[in-house]
Amino acid sequence: MKMGRRKAISIIGGGVIVGATVLFLGSRRPAKALAPWQQAGTYAEPRRRALSYAILAPNPHNRQPWQVDLAQEDKIILYVDTDRLLPHTDPFSRQITIGLGCFLEQLRIAAAQDGYLTTITAFPQGYDKNQLDKRPVADISFVRDKTIKKDPLFPHILTRRSMKVPFDTERLVPDDLLQDLHHIVQNNTHAEATNKPETIRRLRQLTHEAMAIELKTPRTYKESVDLFRIGKSEINENPDGISLGGPLMDSLSAIGLLTRETALDTESSAYQQGMNMLMANIDTAMGYIWLTTATNSRIDQLNVGRDWARINLAATSRGIGLHPISQALQEYPEMQENFSQIHDVLDAKETRVQMLGRLGYAAPVPPAPRWPLDAKIIKA
Ligand SMILES: Cc1cc2nc3c(=O)[nH]c(=O)nc-3n(C[C@H](O)[C@H](O)[C@H](O)COP(=O)(O)O)c2cc1C
């Protein structure tokens, strides 16, 4: 069944997408982009087997900036791909470094599951605190160790998600769950969590405002739009960035309503609907968890990533959704006031809030695309 452009537009205008659109396009699952989730654990070589889980780690804008050198036996050298940074929203690559920390923690957990000890030396040749460069991010020795303990978080790597959907506002986040989550950190970071209605109200408001700033600041908004992967074939070709998939997005794209150009036009319905979807997530937070560090070194940032991955996996194990919302924590001039206010509300004036996530309940969501492991091995 084919639908005329005018009819499709009127349906979208009314805010209802009917089953006909779904029939029109059929199954739009980007199978190639999701294959790494099936390939995890299928490699014979132990470092590759652990790495096949590490590449499923959360990371900002799904840039997957990791690269590994496997040339030396019993070792993995981790580098950052400096073509995959986010200079506008993450000018010092603080968040990119956090994502690399998430990668290291999932690597460690997966290696331990197989009886391998990973000893991680971070930034063995030093680092620049203002920008990441070509020096190694970590030197990881990878050796068999029969005494190593398995991490109970391992089974949750394949079902972990960043839950970018509205939460059920009828379902409260229980106190004991907040306690469990905030005790899971083990890498010199400090976790706090809340389900207090008054704090939730204030944080919803601040994170909403921060999102509006990002969307209304042309260069920060464009940084996201440039990373849109619209529809199945774009997602399969570039399994990273911000994937806008599924029958609805494919339909809007097929009739020309959703393109990078229409998304950039702040008068368009694509822009308005995109903004509405993002705000619907932010406005339904039912609790929050955040990580702070006393200082803000690259080592702190890697540690934050390691603990964020742990929190995300622990949340998955307890059936609750976790969604990072980072806008108010970003270091560009237009965000400065909001940055300061959020540190105030979180009672973290003397420390640095490194990650903030909203908590709540929602139906399961599909995994996010990944580049295959082979694309990330720079020396075998
Ligand atoms: C440091 C960091 C910051 C992030 N900030 C956001 C954010 O502000 N908004 C968002 O929707 N997702 C955010 N994410 C989640 C990523 O977008 C997500 O990990 C990525 O798209 C891959 O999806 P997955 O975690 O479901 O595998 C962040 C992740 C990290 C590690």
Looking at the CA of residue 161, tell me the nearest atom of ligand 1: 26
Out of 34, 61, 322, give the residue to mutate to test ligand 1, the one with the largest number of ligand atoms within 8 Å of its CB.
61
Nearest CA to ligand 1 atom 17: 61
- Residue 344 located in a structural domain: no
pLDDT at site 247: 87
Can you give the residue range of the structural domain that contains 56?
A: 32-157+367-379
CA of 223 to the centre of ligand 1 (A): 15
What does the mean pLDDT of the chain come to? Answer: 93
- Residue 94 located in a structural domain: yes
pLDDT at site 39: 98
pLDDT at site 356: 98
Give the model confidence (pLDDT) of 109-151 as tens digits.
999 999 999 999 999 999 999 999 999 999 999 999 999 999 9
| 1-15, 57-71, 337-351: least confident range | 1-15
pLDDT at site 6: 36
pLDDT at site 146: 93
- Residue 63 located in a structural domain: yes
- Residue 114 located in a structural domain: yes
- Residue 300 located in a structural domain: no
Domain total of the chain = 1
pLDDT at site 81: 98
- Residue 142 located in a structural domain: yes
pLDDT at site 314: 98
Q: Which residues line ligand 1 (CB under 6 A)?
A: 58-62, 95, 98-99, 102, 161-162, 164, 324-327, 368
Give the model confidence (pLDDT) of 156-206 as tens digits.
999 999 999 999 999 999 999 999 998 999 999 999 999 999 999 999 999
CA of 148 to the centre of ligand 1 (A): 30
Q: What's the mean pLDDT in 22-31?
A: 65
CA of 163 to the centre of ligand 1 (A): 9
Give the model confidence (pLDDT) of 201-237 as tens digits.
999 999 999 999 999 999 999 999 999 999 999 999 9
For residue 67, give the CATH number of its domain. Answer: 3.40.109.30
| 250-264, 303-317, 320-334: least confident range | 250-264
Q: Is the pLDDT of residue 289 over 60?
A: yes
CA of 36 to the centre of ligand 1 (A): 18
- Residue 198 located in a structural domain: no
Question: SS3 string of the chain?
Answer: CCCCHHHHHHHHHCCCCCHHHHHHHCCCCCHHHHHHHHHCCCCCCHHHHHHHHHCCCCCHHHCCCEEEECCCCCEEEEEECHHHCCCCCCCCCHHHHHHHHHHHHHHHHHHHHCCEEEEEEECCCCCCCCCCCCCCCEEEEEEECCCCCCCCCHHHCCCCCCCCCCCCCCCCCCHHHHHHHHCCCCCCCEEEEECCHHHHHHHHHHHHHHHHHHHHCHHHHHHHHCCEEEHHHHHHHCCCCEEECHHHHHHHHHCCCCCHHHHHCCCCHHHHHHHHHHHHHHCCCCEEEEEEECCCCHHHHHHHHHHHHHHHHHHHHCCCEEEECCHHHCCCHHHHHHHHHHHHHCCCCCCEEEEEEEEECCCCCCCCCCCCHHHHEEEC
CA of 63 to the centre of ligand 1 (A): 10
Looking at the CA of residue 164, tell me the nearest atom of ligand 1: 11
Nearest CA to ligand 1 atom 7: 325
pLDDT at site 76: 99
| 37-41, 164-168, 248-252: least confident range | 248-252
- Residue 74 located in a structural domain: yes
Give the model confidence (pLDDT) of 49-61 as tens digits.
999 999 999 999 9
pTM, 2 dp: 0.94
pLDDT at site 22: 40
